[in-house]
Amino acid sequence: MIVAENGVLYSPGDYGEGLILFDNNGKQMPIPPVEFEESPGHFVEFHQSITGERKRATSNFENYAGPLTETILLGNLAVWAAAEGEGKKIEWDAAKLEATNAPEVMHVVHREYREGWTA
């Protein structure tokens, strides 16, 4: 449910389907039409983006999904550090993709290759 100055937008489902729009008096209003590119499905879209068939995926990987995933994974890194008995705050350098104060957890972020092997 989203309550705004000029009405309320309600979705009874988990994924935003079945939207119902109400004005401030509780009267149901029609949902205005919105133009958007319909996705062929995330697997197809991902493949098309990699092969160059599509300029970019509809999902905003670089500005939204990527940073969101990084944030969630940092939570996992903190849990990992706590499980190893460290229990300290992880300071993260997003540009370098490294924990600046916790080199002991970097094996979780980047694979350590055996001698003679590289990424």
Residue 111 pLDDT greater than 90, yes or no: no
Q: Does 34 map to a domain?
A: yes
Residue 25 pLDDT greater than 90, yes or no: yes
Q: Does 119 map to a domain?
A: no
Q: How many CB atoms lie within 10 A of CB 12?
A: 9
Range 3-32 average pLDDT: 90
Length, in residues, of the chain: 119
Rounded to whole angstroms, what are the CA distances from 90 to 66, 67, 112? 19, 17, 20
Q: How many domains are there within the chain?
A: 2
Asked whether residue 46 falls in the same domain as residue 73, the answer is: no
Residue 106 DSSP class: H
What is the pLDDT at residue 37?
81
Q: Does 57 map to a domain?
A: no
Q: Which helix (H) or strand (E) holds 42?
A: helix 42-51
> Where in the sequence is the domain holding 96, given as residue range(s)?
67-109
What is the pLDDT at residue 74?
87
Asked whether residue 71 falls in the same domain as residue 101, the answer is: yes
Q: Does 75 map to a domain?
A: yes
What is the pLDDT at residue 86?
62
Whole-structure pTM value? 0.46
Q: How many whole angstroms separate alpha carbon 75 and alpha carbon 92?
A: 11
Q: Does 114 map to a domain?
A: no
